[in-house]
Every structure is written in structure tokens, then in C-alpha cells.
Amino acid sequence: MNKTLTINISGIIFNIEEDAYEKLKNYISQIKSHFVNDSGCDEIMADIEARIAEMLQAKSNQNKQVLIISDIDSIINTMGRPEEFDDNSSNRSNNNKSSFSEGNNYTGNKKKRVYRNGEDKVVGGVCSGISMYFDIDPLWLRLAFGVSFLAFGSGLLFYILLWIVLPEAKTTAEKLEMRGEKVDINNIGKQVSEEFEKIKNKFETEAQDFKQNYGTKSRGAVGNFVNFFVEIVTKIAFAFAKFIGIFFIIFGLMLLVVFLSSIFGSSNIFHFSNGAQSISYSLKDLMVLLINNDSQRNLAIIGIFLTFCIPLIMLVYKGLRLILNIKYKNRIFGVIASILFLVGISIMVYLIADVASDFKKNGNSVDRFSFLPIGKVLTIQTNDKDYDFVDTQEEQDEDINSLKLGKWNYKINDKSISMSNIQFDIEKSNTDSFELLISRMAKGNTSKAAYARAESITYKFVQTDSTLTLPSTFESEIANKWRGQKIRMKLKVPVGKIIFLAKNSEQIIYDIKNVTNTLDSEMTNRRWLMTTDGLSCVDCADITTTTKQKRDRSSKDENEEDIDLDF
Amino acid sequence: MSLEQAKSQMKKGLLEFCILSVLSKREAYPPDIIETLKNAKLIVVEGTLYPILTRLKNEGLLSYRWEESPSGPPRKYYQLTSQGKASLEELSNAWQEILTSVNQLSKN
């Protein structure tokens, strides 16, 4: 004993066993999903259902009123499985990329698709296939790719990505799809309006169904309605996905070019400039400054490439999949990319730990120089001619080998790195002679290494007559890398001697104590007398910072006092 | 490409031509057409035919009329339009040309 159902196909009533019904239902929905992208889908379905009804009618008669599963099987045999509709033989099922070419050349919906063209190829047929899609001469694309190969290989990466993403047109159907209709503005417009029309029609019929079914089968109708909206939302999301895809590709490619050119070339990838502060450096320069040796540098290049470029490549890959609407999944590609990314991260962690270990210990090498100036006034200046803050900045911006990290400049030369981390202070001397203390400091993974690194800093000052010239930069061998090298100087001045701070000394003087608490920038271009209390300004009649002077001052200088309070 | 594939590609290309030819002789409904094509071994399953018929109709090469059926739902009887006749003539000329050149080639 079997349960039977009553069904209606094309207006004819049939009694059918439950399992046979399930089979028929599945079969019809398979056919429907096969033709769903077809413009004549509804009509084809109606025709096929009518034919099925006719055949079923022939199978049921007075003696046999119920349809059983073998009836359905025989119908499926005659009508054929959806995958048999397109080709007469089974060549489509041999093709493992069949899911990629669902719009076939029989269904009247001549959609164009991007394939690799194996018939006309130089490397992988990528350019040829794409130019087929846009109906242009492949020569231009090949040229463009050729040129982009030179741009630090970013084009090569993109090419390989396309090679992975795009399937080759193998069957005739795929080749026809590859050639397809011209894709131009008119056709795109047409397609959009057709899509719109389809949605509109669907909406109308859906609304009618809803009206008809309302009350009797309200739950089903609501379900249909929900499905319908889900479909619309999916379509909108799909269109949106294309935009996202384009964005992914552009964004990813731009960053890729930037990164690659920064690793292999030396273009500055970060550049912030706001008035006095400016930071700009390229990854290549950073590596020269930080990474110990060549093999580590190669490791760093690989590490940076994997950690930063793999996600970008994946971004471009996703973008391509989105805009080309590629459904088949290349699992291996994703797995390999994830593994490479993790490898990249491990390399970075290792390198960072390695470099950080070089900052564990401090080294300090102090030199003392005593001298007696000839005149009464000792001038302190740096070796910068025509020192002007703004000018030097502009110069540095043009110099690609110069790095600016916060306040300090680093310039990479052939054999050495010149650095500007220098601070100069003035103190009272307990003896009758001037004394200059120069501390060269650096860091290393052991105290010994740090000291050796500090020792290797080259810094030469010049004292002629009554002028002390202190260079604004010092040199460190390139092999020593940047390991926190800095120079701290202290000039001990005997009581009664006068110091003149030249304008260009402003970049090295740091927090020089004086009796009037004058700021460093205000101290330049003035003479300072060492008294038993500390430095005191000799020609500061116009300056405004002292509490002593304030007391002497008349009330008409109130404006200036306001400014002082800001300090 | 295997031999089977090559054969199927050939048949596929000719299917439309054959459908038009069948309909040029008489008005027919799909099972009739299928019967003829199956006898000529051009088609294996019926499902192949329906999308082609719908497309040809949408392209204006075919028209149809409804006819009540003694058993089952009403049937669609297809016939050639004047445009369809013109297309058929063109296709048949092209076919003749291909036939001649292929024959010549294979003889030489």
C-alpha cells in the first residue's frame, strides 16, 4: 500500500505515488534552474510541462490510474536530463569547469564571458582572451602588460592572478561565449533595461499570485513573497559586489605597486608633513637602517612581501572573482596563500625580535677635550651654511635617501649613515679652562657590542681661535645599522667667559639652563656670560622672558607679557 | 577533441537548420519534430528541442498556433514565418557551399 498525491500539470490532473512525485518535482526544478538565466524560461518550462503532461496522460488509463516511479523514469529518459539538453553527447560532463559556462549558446541568451584564449597565445592567452571580451587588438594589452612587468613586476603578479582565475576556452560552446556579442555601452544599457524588465515582470506575476492565493494559502504566498525579496536583495547585492570588486582591484593594485616599488626601488611609501614635523621613508631605506645583514635583508623582503602583498593579491583576486562572477572555487590557491601569509608573519616576528634584541644594552663612550680660547667670546656654530629651517626641509624632501623619523634625519650614503640625533648643553666649569665632553652612545645586544658601536661613531668638531664648529650630523658605518646612535655634548664654561650661540646652532642646542629661563630658540644669536649662578644674557635688552627683567619693565609692555605667559 | 565531441559539435551546428527544414515541409508540434530528428539520429533527448524552438520563435523565424488535443493539454503547432523561410534558404545555400567544399577537400 502506498500513499498517493493528486497533482496538476498543465491543467491535467494526475494521481501519483509519493516517491514518484518527489522524483518528478526534483526533475522539474532541475530543468527550471537550468533555464533560469534564459530569457524564455517561463515559456520553455510551460512547453516542457505540457509535453510531460501529454506523456503521463498516455501512461495512465482506465486500468492504471496511478503513476509510479518507473513512469517518471521513462519520461526522464525521453525528455533527457538538463545536462543533456545542451550537447547531444556527454562532452559537457567531461568538462570540469562546466559550472563556469552556464549561459550556453543554445539558450538564446548570448552572454559573453572572459576566457583565456588558447588558440592565440603568447604566454597564457590572458591578453588575447580579455581583448576578445572587449573586442580590441590584443597587441595593446600585451604591450601594457609588458610595460607593467617592468614596474617592479606588479604586472606579472596581476597576469599570474588572471591566469589562475580565468579558465581556458576549451569546448566550442566556451569559444563561442568568448567571442560572443560586442560589449559596448549600448549593449550594457540594453542588458540593464532587460534585467529591469525581468524584475518588473516577476514582481507583477508575484503580486498577482499573492492576490490570488491570499486567504487560502496565505502562508505559501508570504513565503513566495519573502523568496522574491530575497532574490531582489541578492540581485542588488550582486550589482554592488561588482562595484566592490572594481574597488578591490584598483585599491589592491595601487597598494601592490606602492609596496613593490618601495621594497625594490626606494620610493617613500609614507610621507607625512605638517609644518615642522615630517616623516617619510621607504621600506628599502628602513631595511638598510634596521636589518643586520644581506641574508636577513632578503628574508625581510620575503617577509614583507608575504605579509603585505599576499593579502593585497587576495584582495585583487576576490575583486576579479566578483566582477567576472566566477563561481568555481580554486581551493588550493586559498590554502597556499594562507600558508604563505603565515610564513610571512613568522618571518616578520623573527626579524622584529632579532632587531629588538640589538636594543637591549646601552653603550656610552665619553671623550673630554680641554682648550683655552684666544678671545674673550667663544662662538658656537654648526657646519650648516646659511642655516634656515624651511630650506633644509625642502632639500630633504627631494633627497630620496634621506629619512626623517620625527625630529631626526637619517641619510644613507655609500658606506655610512649620517644621523642628526645630537644634543648640546652648556654647564658651568669648575676650572679655568673650557672643557667639551662628547658622549657617543649606541645600543646593542651585549654591552660590549653597544660600546663598540658607540666607539665607531665618527664625529669631528673643529676649534679655531675663538670659534667652536660642531657638525650637525655624525657618521656611523652602514654595517652598524641604526641602533639608537646619538651624541650628547656638554660644554663646560669657566665663570666670566662669554659664549655666542650662532643662529645655526639652534638645531643642536638642547635645554640649556640659564638664569633667565630663556628658551633654546630665543638663545641663539645672542651672547651669554657664565656667572656663578649660570648663564646670563649680555645683549638681551629686547628679550622678554626674565622675571627680573619683568620687574624692571614698564607697564607698556603688557602685550609682550601675555605672550610670555603662554610659555 | 575526441571523435565523439567532433561529431556532436557538427550535429549541434546543423540542428537549427534541420528544424527549419522539417518545418518547411509541414506544420508540426514538438513531438513530431523530435520523432523526425530522432530518426535522423540528430537528437537524443526531447529536452534539447524546447529551448531552440522558443529562441527561433523569439527571433521571429517561427510562429505557432494552439490546437486542442484529444489527449492531454493543448498543443503548439509551429510553422515557418516568411523571415524563417528566408533564413532557411540562406542556411541551405551555405550548407550546399560547405558540402561542396568539404567534398572537394576530402576527395583531394
A490 within 8 A of A427, measured Cβ to Cβ: yes
> For residue range A532-563, what is the model confidence (pLDDT) as tens digits?
888 888 877 655 544 444 444 444 444 444 44
Interface of A with B in 56-95 (CB under 8 A): 57-58, 77-82, 84-89, 91
Out of A54, A57, A89, closest to residue B8 by CB: A89
Task: Specify the pLDDT at position A441.
Answer: 92
Task: Specify the pLDDT at position A219.
Answer: 53
The answer to whether residue A439 scores a pLDDT higher than 90 is yes
A403: confidence class by pLDDT, cuts 50, 70, 90: low
A561 within 8 A of A544, measured Cβ to Cβ: yes
- Tell which of B5, B15, B58 to mutate to test the A interface (max A CBs under 10 Å): B5
In the numeric block, the cell 494526475 is attached to A14
Out of B42, B53, B73, closest to residue A53 by CB: B73
Residue B69 burial (CB count, 10 A): 14
Task: Specify the pLDDT at position A553.
Answer: 44
> For residue range A477-517, what is the model confidence (pLDDT) as tens digits?
888 888 888 999 999 888 888 888 888 888 888 888 888 88
Q: What is the mean pLDDT of residues A393-416?
A: 62
Across A49-63, A282-296, A451-465, the highest mean pLDDT is recorded for A451-465
* A469 shares contact with chain B (CB less than 8 Å): no
CATH 1.20.120.160 fits B3-107, yes or no: no
A100: confidence class by pLDDT, cuts 50, 70, 90: very low
pTM of the shown model: 0.46
CA nearest B41 in A: which residue?
A88
Single-letter amino acid code for the residue at A55: M
From edge to edge, which strands make up the β-sheet containing A66-67? A4-9, A12-17, A66-67
Out of A12, A57, A88, closest to residue B12 by CB: A88
A134 within 8 A of A114, measured Cβ to Cβ: no
What are the CA-CA distances from residue A396 to residues A259, A266, A480 (Å)? 22, 15, 23
ipTM of the prediction greater than 0.85, yes or no: no
Kind plus residue range of the DSSP H or E element containing A133: helix A126-134
Shortest alpha-carbon distance between residue B18 and chain A (Å): 15
> Are B8 and A38 within 8 A, CB to CB?
no
Provide DSSP, A173-209. HHHHHHH-S---HHHHHHHHHHHHHHHHHHHHHHHHH
Which residues in chain A are closer than 8 Å to B51, comparing Cβ atoms?
35, 38, 40, 44, 85, 106-108
> For residue range A118-166, what is the model confidence (pLDDT) as tens digits?
777 778 888 888 888 777 788 888 888 887 777 666 777 778 888 887 8
Shortest alpha-carbon distance between residue A207 and chain B (Å): 26
The answer to whether residue A65 scores a pLDDT higher than 70 is yes
CA nearest A50 in B: which residue?
B73
Q: Which residues contact A399 (CB under 8 A, 6 or more apart)?
A: A411
The answer to whether residue A180 scores a pLDDT higher than 50 is yes
Single-letter amino acid code for the residue at A301: I
Provide DSSP, A358-416. TTSEEEEEEEEEEE--SSSEEEEE-S-TT--HHHHHHHHHH-TTEEEETTEEEEE-SSE
Domain range list for chain B:
3-107
Q: Pick from B56, B58, B64: which is nearest to B88 by CA?
A: B56
> Are A80 and B4 within 8 A, CB to CB?
no
Shortest alpha-carbon distance between residue B106 and chain A (Å): 23
Domain range list for chain A:
1-86, 98-183, 249-357, 361-566
Which residues in chain A are closer than 8 Å to B35, comparing Cβ atoms?
none
Q: What is the mean pLDDT of residues B79-92?
A: 89
> Are A106 and B55 within 8 A, CB to CB?
yes
Which residues in chain A are closer than 8 Å to B58, comparing Cβ atoms?
39-40, 108
Shortest alpha-carbon distance between residue B72 and chain A (Å): 5
Across A88-92, A278-282, A352-356, B68-72, the highest mean pLDDT is recorded for A352-356
A17 within 8 A of A66, measured Cβ to Cβ: yes
In the numeric block, the cell 505515488 is attached to A17
Q: What is the mean pLDDT of residues A394-410?
A: 57
> For residue range A196-229, what is the model confidence (pLDDT) as tens digits?
677 777 777 766 666 665 545 455 566 667 777 7
Q: Pick from A226, A200, A224: which is nearest to A212 by CA?
A: A224
- Tell me which residues of chain B have a C-beta less than 8 Å from any C-beta of chain A: 2, 4-5, 7-9, 11-12, 30-31, 42-48, 50-55, 58-59, 69, 71-76
The answer to whether residue A433 scores a pLDDT higher than 70 is yes
Task: Specify the pLDDT at position B7.
Answer: 75
As a whole number, the mean pLDDT across chain A is 75
Task: Specify the pLDDT at position A548.
Answer: 43
Q: What is the mean pLDDT of residues A409-417?
A: 78
CB-based burial, A149-169: b 16+ in 10 Å, e otherwise: eeebbbbebbbebbeebbbbb
CB-facing half-sphere around the CA of A558: CA atoms within 13 A: 2
> Are B73 and A40 within 8 A, CB to CB?
no
Percent of chain A with pLDDT over 90: 3
Q: What is the mean pLDDT of residues B39-51?
A: 79
The answer to whether residue B33 scores a pLDDT higher than 70 is yes
> Are B76 and A47 within 8 A, CB to CB?
yes
